[in-house]
Structure 1
Amino acid sequence: MRNHLADELLIGRATGERLYVLEFAGPAPRVKIGRAQSLARVKARIDEHLREKAKHGYGLVNACVTKPIPHAAAAEAAALVWMGYAFARIPHSREEFAVADFHIAAACAEMNVWKHDPNRDDDL
């Protein structure tokens, strides 16, 4: 999974903040939505999450990274709110959801990146 994700990240070389969505399998499956300021930081954050989750018996089973967006903080906040309508947050976390659907989380991230993109084409 990590090598596939690295390949995907190399395809899009545009700079800027991005959202990422990670799905972890383990004792209590979860989905995490996060934000990072650059591709290098996305890779570093994913590696940090992998190391931390591995300590607790979790493994990464799915991941996606959005295109860059100038207002990533607003897009992330909105995606987290949308996810909170359907899934329970992990205690003491605002970015992780218990037994959540990865595809719904990825759609929330992508839709909010589109919604908060000042350069979007509303005719799509």
Structure 2
Amino acid sequence: MLALKRLVTVLVMVYLLLVLLLLLSPGSRDGLMAVTAGNDASSFYYAMFLIGAALLTLQLITENLDSVLLRRDVASREGKINELKARLYDQQLEQRSTSANVGAARPGTTVHPEGYTPPAPISPARPFTSDRDGSPLA
């Protein structure tokens, strides 16, 4: 597909260069008209118009086809990525369930040793009623 797309792009560029040469150089335009269409300028320009329209149509078709193929490829790769993520998530759930059944500590939890008693809560300190020198606070 890439080779066809590049070939069409090269053909369009060659056509554009030929059209620019014919527009900017009256001598080459008259010489090409004499070789291809005789002295009839309208049939020459009509043929150039048809060639340009055909090249434009071909380029549009190849660009759209390439875009569709790329989108399809991206979608399939995203599907594969989602499938791999789902498998990884299932494996992690399975590992967590087997480790919970064994009785091992889960990460992020605190396990206290046997006979541990939590410390008693500390009462808040009383506010000072006097200054260091013993004078009452106002």
TM-score band, normalised by shorter chain? under 0.3
Between structure 1 and structure 2, the one with the greater Rg is 2
Structure holding more helix per residue: 2
TM-score, L = length of structure 2: 0.21
Structure holding more strand per residue: 1
Q: Which has the higher contact order (CA 8 A, sep 6+)?
A: 1
